A and B are shown apart, each in its own frame.
Chain A
Amino acid sequence: MRSDLKLIADLLPPRSRILDLGCGDGELLRRHAAKGGSGTGVEIEPEPFLAALRRGVDVIDLDINSQLDQFADDSYDVVVLSRTLQNLKRPAHVLREISRIGQLCVVSMPNFVHWRNRLRLLTGRMPVTRDLPYQWYDTPNLHYTSLKDLRPLFDDLGLTVERWVPLGETGLPLPLGRIGANWFASSAVYLLQASR
C-alpha cells in the first residue's frame, strides 16, 4: 500500500463513512472497509475507475472541480482529498465544498519548497522530483505551494488543523516541526476540522 495512504487510513476514525475524492483503484476505501468502515469513491479517470468498481468499491464518476454539489451537507464523516489539491482549478472552492460534505477532511499536498527544489531553483531550473515528476509543460499540477503557505488558506476557510504529518520522499512520516517540515518534508497530510 502507498505509504501516504496507509497513514491516511490510520487517521480515519474506525467505522466512519468516508468520501474519497480521487480514489484511484479504491485501495484506501477497501482498507477502510476491511476495518469496518464504509464509503464512496470519486474517480474520473477510466482505468482506476474500472479497477475500483471491479474491486467492489462504490465509485462515482464526476469532476471534483465543479460537481461536488452532488453530495449533501454532512453526508460523510470524513472527506479525503489525497494528493489532488494541486491539480484542482479552484482549491479554495473545493476545500469549502469538502468541509461542507464532511466535518473532518484529510488533505495532502506536496511541498514545493523542499530543500532540493529550492536548490534546483537556484540553478535556474524548475524542480523535477519523485513528488513532482513532471516537466512544466505536461504537469497536471496547476498550483504549487509551500506547507507554510497552506496554513493561511486553512485559517481563511475556518479549518482547524487537528493533526498534520510531514512525509519524506518515500512517503514515510518525518519527525519534524513546522519550520523543519517546510524545508525537509516532500509532502504533508493534514486532518482538518471544519467549524459548524
Chain B
Amino acid sequence: MTPVDTMAELGAVAGTARLYTADEPLELVGGGRLEVVDVAYETYGTLNSTGSNALFICHALTGDAHAAGQRIGDRRPGWWDNLIGPGKAVDTDRWYVVCANILGGCRGTTGPSSINPATGQAYGLDFPLLDMADFVTVHRRLARHLGVERWAVLLGGSLGGMQVLQWALSHPDEVDNAILIASSSRLTAENIAFSAVGRQAIMRDPEFCNGRFSDAGTSPDRGLSVARMMAHITYLSEKAFSEKFGRAAQSGTLAPGFGIDFAVESYLEHQGESFLTRFDALSYLYLTRVMDYFDPFAAPDALDALRADPVKFLVMSFDSDWRFATSQSRRIVQHLEHAGLPTAFREINSPWGHDSFLLALPAYHATIQAFLDRAFDEVRG
C-alpha cells in the first residue's frame, strides 16, 4: 500500500457524467438506442487556455477510467501509471489527459449489467449490440461535456488502439495525432476463435442464466474466470511463461494429481479469480464482440475523410506479441501509408507478448515520448 495519495500531483479529477437521457438518447450504429448513458472518467493535468493540449487515452478490453495515480488504500496505481504522470512519457504537466470507461463496460459506465430504465432490471442480453463507432460517439460527447473541442493526441493499446483508429477515420478534423499500440484493424480468425471460446465459457456456465444472472441471484464466475485464464495465456508469450514459471512446482515439489500443482497453474487461477472482482461477464461478451466485427478498412471510402484532413500516426507493435502480432500493425501502416498519410511505425523488441504494452519498457516509452515531444512542439506553436 502506498502511504501517499498521488492523485493530487496529477491534478486528477474523477467523475461520472450523464451524457444521454431519455430526451436525447444515444442512437447506436446497430440501430439500438440507449436512453440513459453514464460515463465514468478521470482527467489529469490542465486544459490550456487554447484547448490545444488535450490527450485522450482509450483503454483496452478490461481497462477502466483509472489510468494513472494511486489513492490511499489502493493496492495498485492506475493501469497505465508507468506511462502517465508528471515527467513521464505522457507528461501531465504538459497534457490534459482524459480517460473514460468504455460504453458497455462495467467500471462506472453504462453497460449490459446496468439497470434498464424501462424494466428496472439489469439489461442482460437485451442490451443492444455495440460498434467501435459507438465508443467514439460517446467519447466525443464526453469531450463536449469537458469543454474539449479537439484532441491533440488519441492514444490507445489493443482494443484502445482500435478505437483510436475508428476515431481518426471518422472524425479526423477533431484529431491531430493518433498512437495505436499492439492493435489491429481486423482480427484474424485465430483472434476470433480465442474470443469465441471465452464467450462460450461464460454462456455455457449454468449460472449465466441466459444473461439474467443478476435477477436470478447467480453469477457465471466459473465461465468468466476460465475466459480470463485462457485469454491471459494469449497475452503473454511462451518465453514469458518460461521465464516467469518454467516448470516450477507451486509448493516446492510436484505432487502429481489433478489439482493446481505447477506454478503457472496457480498463476492462472489467481488471474481468473482476481478478474471476477473487477469484471462483468456480460461486458466481456459485448466488448469482445465489438472487436470481432471491427474491420474499418473494408469500406471503400474508409480513408476519404482522413485523406482530406490528415492525422499524424504512430503505430507500434511488440515482436513477441502473437495475439496482436506485428503483421496486424503493419497492415494498419500499409493502409495509412498507401493513402499518403503521415505514418510512423516501430516494432519493439520485448519478450513479454501482448502485455508488453502495459510495461515500462525503455525503448517503448522513449518512442511514445519522442512522438509526443514533437506533438507538443505543435501545441506550443
A58 contacts B333, C-beta separation under 8 Å: no
Enumerate A56-96 residues with CB–CB distance to B below 8 Å: 56-62, 70-72, 75
Interface residues of A in 81-119 (CB under 8 A from B): none
Question: Any chain A CB within 8 A of the CB of B380?
Answer: no
Known contacts being A56-B374, A70-B333, is A49 close to B346, with CB within 8 Å?
yes
CB distance from A84 to the nearest CB of B (A): 19
A contact residues around B333 at 8 Å (CB): 60, 70
CB distance from A23 to the nearest CB of B (A): 11
- Chain A residues whose CB sits within 8 angstroms of the CB of B251 once the complex forms: none
A58 touches B374 (CB 8 A): no
- Do A58 and B338 touch across chains, with their CB atoms under 8 A apart? no
Q: Which residues of A contact B340 (CB under 8 A)?
A: 17
* Contact status B338-A61, CB under 8 Å: no
Residues on the B chain within 8 Å of A75, using CB:
337-338
The complex places the Cα of A99 from the Cα of B253 at a distance, in Å, of 62
Known A-B contacts A70-B330, A70-B333; A58 and B370 likewise in contact (beta carbons under 8 Å): no
A50 pairs with B366, CB closer than 8 A: yes
A58 to B377: give the CA distance in the assembly, Å. 15
Distance A17 CA – B346 CA, assembled complex (angstroms): 21
Q: Which chain A residue lies CB-closest to B312? A: A58
Q: Which of A50, A56, A60 is within 8 Å of B337, CB to CB?
A: A60
Q: B345 to nearest A CB, angstroms?
A: 5
Knowing A40-B343, A60-B333 touch, does A46 contact B363 (C-beta < 8 A)?
Answer: yes
Within 8 A of A (CB), among B355-373: 363, 366-367, 370-371, 373
**B334 CB–A CB distance under 8 Å:** yes
Chain A residues near B346 (CB-CB < 8 A): 49, 53, 61
The verdict on A148 contacting chain B, using a C-beta distance below 8 Å, is: no
> Given A55-B374, A56-B374, A61-B347, does the pair A71, B337 have CB atoms closer than 8 Å?
yes
Shortest beta-carbon distance from A77 to chain B in Å: 12
B298 nearest CB across to chain A (Å): 18
Which residue, of A54, A71, A72, A75, has the highest number of chain B Cβ atoms within 10 A?
A54
| B303-341 residues at the A interface, CB under 8 angstroms | 312, 314, 330, 333-334, 337-338, 340
- Contact call B343/A60, Cβ cutoff below 8 A: yes
Quick one: CB contact mask for A31-44 with B, threshold 8 Å, 1 for yes? Answer: 00000000010000
Question: B287 CB to closest chain A CB, in angstroms?
Answer: 30
Chain B residues 113 to 165 lying within 8 A of chain A, measured CB to CB, are none
User: Among the listed B337, B342, B345, B370, which residue makes an inter-chain contact with A61, where contact means beta carbons less than 8 Å apart?
Assistant: B345
CB distance from A33 to the nearest CB of B (A): 11
How would you classify the secondary structure of chain B's contact residues: helix, strand, loop or mixed?
helix
B-chain residues with CB within 8 Å of residue A70 when the two chains form the complex: 330, 333-334, 337
Specify which chain B residues have a CB less than 8 angstroms from the CB of A55 in the assembled complex: 374
Q: B13: CB under 8 A from chain A?
A: no
A50 touches B370 (CB 8 A): yes
B363 to chain A: which residues have CB within 8 Å? 46
Are the C-beta atoms of B338 and A53 separated by less than 8 Å? no
Cβ of B233 to closest chain A Cβ, rounded Å: 28
CB distance from B148 to the nearest CB of A (A): 24
Measured between beta carbons, the chain B residues less than 8 angstroms from A58 are 312, 342-344
Give bound CA distance, A55 to B370, whole Å.
Answer: 8
Give complex CA distance A50, B365 in Å.
Answer: 11
A173–B347 CA distance with the chains assembled, in angstroms: 38
Contact A54 B338, CB 8 Å, known A60-B343, A60-B344: no
Cβ-defined partner of A53 (8 Å) among B337, B347, B374, B377: B374
A62 to B344, CA, bound (A): 11
Residues on the B chain within 8 Å of A56, using CB: 374, 377
Inside 8 A of B337's CB, which chain A residues have their CB?
40, 60, 70-71, 75
C-beta contact mask, B193-231 vs A, less than 8 Å → 1, else 0? Answer: 000000000000000000000000000000000000000
Interface pair B330/A53, CB less than 8 Å apart: no
Tell me, rounded to whole Å, the shortest Cβ–Cβ distance linking B284 to chain A: 34
Q: Given the complex of chains A and B, what is the CA–CA distance between A124 and B247 in angstroms?
A: 57
Q: How far is the CA of A75 from the CA of B330 in the complex (A)?
A: 17
How many angstroms from the CA of A31 to the CA of B374 in the assembled complex?
17
> Smallest Cβ distance from A172 to chain B, in angstroms?
33
Smallest Cβ-Cβ distance to A19: which chain B residue: B337
- Whole-angstrom distance from the CB of A20 to the nearest CB of chain B? 13
Give chain A nearest CB distance to B353 CB in angstroms.
19
Pull 15 A–B residue pairs with CB atoms less than 8 Å apart, ordered by A. Answer: A40-B337, A40-B343, A49-B346, A50-B370, A53-B346, A54-B373, A55-B374, A56-B374, A60-B337, A61-B346, A70-B333, A70-B334, A70-B337, A72-B338, A75-B337
Q: A53-B346, A54-B371 are in contact. List 16 more A-B contacts (CB 8 A).
A: A17-B340, A40-B337, A46-B363, A53-B314, A53-B344, A53-B367, A53-B370, A53-B371, A54-B374, A58-B312, A60-B333, A60-B343, A61-B345, A61-B346, A62-B330, A70-B334
Question: Which 5 pairs of residues, A with B, have the shortest CB-CB distance?
Answer: A54-B370, A61-B346, A53-B370, A58-B342, A60-B345
Residues of B that sit less than 8 Å from A by CB: 312, 314, 330, 333-334, 337-338, 340, 342-347, 363, 366-367, 370-371, 373-374, 377
